[in-house]
Amino acid sequence: MTPRNEHGPDSGPPARRDRQMTERRLIEATIQLIRERGFDAVGINAIADTAGVSKVLIYRYFGDFSGLLRAVADEIGVLGSNLAAGSIASASADSTPGQVIAETTHILRSMVKDNELIRNVLIWELSQDNELTKTLAESREHIGLEQTRQFTRLLEEHRPGESLDTEALFALLTAGVFYLSLRAEHCPVFNGVDLQSDEGWNRIAGVVKDLLDRVPEPEPNEDKP
């Protein structure tokens, strides 16, 4: 039996007397908890236990629980920014605005579907506002507006005269995709649409594309590859 106690379930190396390392462990343990067990499992005791560290250190290093959440929010914020940066770049060919927004729908959906952390954070943002959710809201606002601006530019290219409230459009679109993606976890069908199949999401993306692509312009120019 080793003389050092190892009560944490997944401690890894004991990390002897390294403050920076301990702080990292606490932050990453919090993120892991949010991802794997949801926001209502996030607490002083669970975090300290997951990190394999005494909970007193949370108070010593981050002041209080909010302090730790603030640090975690910064961490998740940059994660989200990187994730979105990759997504934005992909959808910028010279396609129809409808095609672009349909692809954006699919990208948003996969992002939420494949990332358990995002899902739990989105739910958390709806149910309360603390240091973490407040910081993340700002981060997401920045990302969403960047996407919107890019689409606005593309729309201006394709239809110079068109005046469409792209901010409101993207707000409703991303909000709807967020909600449907979250709901898909527990409830497969929403308003007759199968949220757990690609077919259902093709319907969602398709109806937005249909609405955007039909425009009363004198150009019947539709070249679909």
Residues that bind its own copies (CB under 8 A): 38, 40, 123, 125-129, 133, 137, 141, 144-145, 148, 164-165, 167-180, 182-183, 186-187, 189-193, 200, 203-204, 206-208, 210-212, 214-216
Which residues are registered as beta bridge partners of 189?
Answer: 194
Closer of 30 and 148 to its own copies (Cβ):
148
- The listed partner (its own copies, DNA, none) that binds 168, CB under 5 to 8 Å by sort, is its own copies
Shortest reach from residue 125's CB to its own copies, in Å:
7
- The listed partner (DNA, its own copies, none) that binds 46, CB under 5 to 8 Å by sort, is DNA
**Closest C-alpha to 10, from 56, 60, 69, 52:** 52
**Closest C-alpha to 159, from 96, 113, 204, 206:** 96
Closer of 38 and 67 to its own copies (Cβ):
38
End-to-end CA distance of the chain: 68
Shortest reach from residue 34's CB to DNA, in Å:
13
Whether the CB-CB separation of 119 and 185 falls below 8 Å is answered with yes
- The listed partner (its own copies, DNA, none) that binds 99, CB under 5 to 8 Å by sort, is none
Closer of 25 and 140 to DNA (Cβ):
25
- The listed partner (DNA, its own copies, none) that binds 79, CB under 5 to 8 Å by sort, is none
Helix 131-158 × helix 116-127 angle, to 10°:
110
Closer of 85 and 189 to its own copies (Cβ):
189
- The listed partner (its own copies, DNA, none) that binds 45, CB under 5 to 8 Å by sort, is DNA
- Report how far residue 33's alpha carbon sits from residue 209's, in angstroms, rounded to the nearest whole number: 38
Helix 166-186 × helix 116-127 angle, to 10°:
110
Shortest reach from residue 136's CB to its own copies, in Å:
10
Q: Which parts of this chain interact with DNA (CB under 7 A)?
A: 4-5, 7, 15-19, 21-22, 41-46, 52-57, 59-60, 64-65
- Report how far residue 181's alpha carbon sits from residue 14's, in angstroms, rounded to the nearest whole number: 39
Can you say whether the dihedral through the CA atoms of 172, 175, 180, 186 is positive or negative?
negative
- The listed partner (its own copies, DNA, none) that binds 212, CB under 5 to 8 Å by sort, is its own copies
Can you say whether the dihedral through the CA atoms of 187, 193, 195, 197 is positive or negative?
positive
